[in-house]
Structure formats: C-alpha cells, structure tokens
Amino acid sequence: MLAILAVSDKRNIATLAGGLLRLGWDVVATEGTHRLLRNEGHDVGRVADLAGVPTLLGGRVKTLTLSVMGGILARDTETDLKEIAEYGIPRVDLVCCNYYILPELVDGMDLTAFRERVDIGGPAMLRGAAKNCEHVIPLSDPDDYEQVLGLLGQEGGAASAVPMSHRLRLAEKAFEISAAYDASVSALFGAQA
C-alpha cells in the first residue's frame, strides 16, 4: 500500500503517517510535509523519488507527473494494471492533501507572489483521488485521519477496509474543499483586476 501526503494544514499528519507506517504502508510526502515527518522520526520517502524527477520550475512542478497522477488514477482493471506495470508506475492507495488558506496567506502580497502560491498539483492529486475513490482513499480533513486509521487497522492495513460509502463521503469533502479553494483563488484574482 502506498500513501502520498502533501498538506499545508499539518494537524494530525504525524499521527496519520505513523499509523500508516505501523500498518505496513509505504508513505511519501512533498517537501514541507516530508521535513516535518522526518523531524518527528517517521521514515517517509519523498514524492520527488516517486515522480522520478526533481522538483521543477522553482517548485511549480512537484506532483504533476505521469508517475504520480498515473498511480492515483489507475483502476483495478487488467488494462490499467498492465499499463502502469509497463511504465513502472506504482499504485497509489491513499492521497492526503489540503491547501493553503489563501486569503490569510496573501494579505499584503503582490500579484506575482500571490500567483506563485496558487496550488495546482495538490488539488489535481486530491481531485484525482476523489474521482477514483473506488480505488484510492481521498483524505483532506485532519479530523478524518483517526477514523480512516481505525478502519484500516481492522483489516491489517488493507485499503479495502475503508467501505465505499465512507470513501464517497471523503470524496464529497475533497471536492467541496477543492471548490472552495478555487472560489478563493478566483476571488483573489478578481480583487487584483
């Protein structure tokens, strides 16, 4: 089982990572999340290693790669499994992602600095996981981590322990968070016009 963690709200993330690791999962994280988890003593990998390329364009491209998005969007079909195997793309079973609260972050920032803070890869990963929630657990709210860990623990860590009804609620929340983020970005661009 493989989890990708990429969070700006770091509440409970060390608990989630530690729980997944104890259940035998592999965990990779983006730079800031990776640094925090390593400082907490958790043996997590870097998303850049999974992606097969370093962070590019001054940090603009971290997760928008075939290896990351292909692993998130892969289904349990013969065709999908064959394709990801052919290209060495690992299956992703859980994506935990949330984004910066832009109005608080950008207060007093100039337009160029603000545009650089707009998250593209995080929303893409979370939306991909939510779209593919039958095969990937989409997590965005730190208050949901403990319940998901509890469900996983009932089945020895198997992702299948999280029922589809619960995955759909998590997907709903992921799309709600994504929509709110997009509305915030839109309003902030509009305010600059």
| Residue 162 clears pLDDT 90, i.e. is over it | yes
| Residue 167 clears pLDDT 70, i.e. is over it | yes
3-state helix, strand, coil in the chain (%, to 5): 60, 10, 30
Write the DSSP symbol of residue 159. Answer: G
Mean pLDDT calculated for residue range 26-37: 94
| Residue 108 clears pLDDT 90, i.e. is over it | no
pLDDT above 70: percentage of residues in the chain: 90
Q: What is the per-residue pLDDT across 52-74, written as a single tens digit (0 to 9) for each? A: 776 767 666 677 788 899 999 99
| pLDDT given for residue 114 in this prediction | 76
Torsion of the alpha carbons at 169, 129, 144 and 178, rounded to the nearest 10 = -80
| pLDDT given for residue 2 in this prediction | 98
| Residue 192 clears pLDDT 80, i.e. is over it | no
In sequence order, the 6+-apart residues with CB closer than 8 A to the CB of 149 are: 15, 16, 19, 20, 23
pTM, full prediction: 0.92
22 CB-contact burial (10 Å; exposed 0-12 / middle 13-18 / buried 19+):
exposed
Domains of the chain by start residue, with CATH? 2-192 (3.40.50.1380)
| pLDDT given for residue 107 in this prediction | 62
Residue 99, SS3 per DSSP: coil
| pLDDT given for residue 59 in this prediction | 67
Query: Which one, of 155, 103, 8, 83, lies nearest residue 163 by Cα?
Result: 155
| Residue 80 clears pLDDT 70, i.e. is over it | yes
* 34 backbone φψ class: left, alpha, beta (φ>0; ψ -120 to 50): alpha
| Residue 170 clears pLDDT 90, i.e. is over it | yes
Query: Which one, of 175, 86, 179, 88, lies nearest residue 132 by Cα?
Result: 175
